[in-house]
Chain A
């Protein structure tokens, strides 16, 4: 078994601020993902990475940057937080296109 951790659990930011979310996994999975989930809605792919230092854009990449520093970690940066923005950011990992395991999420609120 393994675990995915996301930090922070809650993130409160100011409009225009640059905010960084972190994700770590010890499954030894090659592929990692960042999704955004708005309240009561589905999962939208922001970025994914198939190996260390690789980055692939998802449908929602505008306004975000990502970094895969090493196999076990994948960071997401909100480049300029939007006022009143509220969403959950979910990190996941998998072996290629197989089952994805999700972290507990980071809840973002922008004042």
Chain B
């Protein structure tokens, strides 16, 4: 199977706190895990990615973790700001390119 499960589907966080999104995948051959951010009316844009030879990657206020044994990876947005409100999609590589999760709608409130 090549399904990617993404949770939660909706996430409301207070400005300044952290937001965490979790994804699990089925394909043990997956070796590339990107995260996309999509703002209303816009196309998805790559914000961070991680490959299977790493367990952790950080860029600016984003941290991704990968647990290959558990087939689980996660995105952590630290010190959330109003501009972080958007849809976020995880994805895992496979035979048909990337398989996407169903998305998480993140809302940052004051």
Contacts and interface: CB of A to CB of B under 8 A. Distances in A.
Given A97-B32, A101-B46, A105-B43, A43 B97 contact: no
Contacts of A43: 44, 89, 100
A97 B43 contact: no
Contacts, number: 48
B49 to A, nearest CB: 6
What band does the interface of chain A fall in when counting residues whose beta carbon is under 8 Å from B?
A: 20 to 34
Interface string B82-110: 00000101010110111011110100000
Interface in B34-51: 34, 42-46, 49
A33 B45 CA distance: 15
A98 B97 CA distance: 7
Given A33-B97, A41-B103, A45-B96, A99 B46 contact: yes
A56 B89 CA distance: 23
A93 to B, nearest CB: 10
A85 B96 CA distance: 26
11 contacts: A42-B100, A43-B44, A45-B96, A97-B32, A97-B98, A99-B34, A99-B46, A100-B98, A102-B44, A102-B45, A104-B43
Interface of B: 32, 34, 42-46, 49, 87, 89, 91, 93-94, 96-98, 100-103, 105
Interface of A: 31, 33, 40-43, 45, 48, 56, 58, 90, 94, 97-105
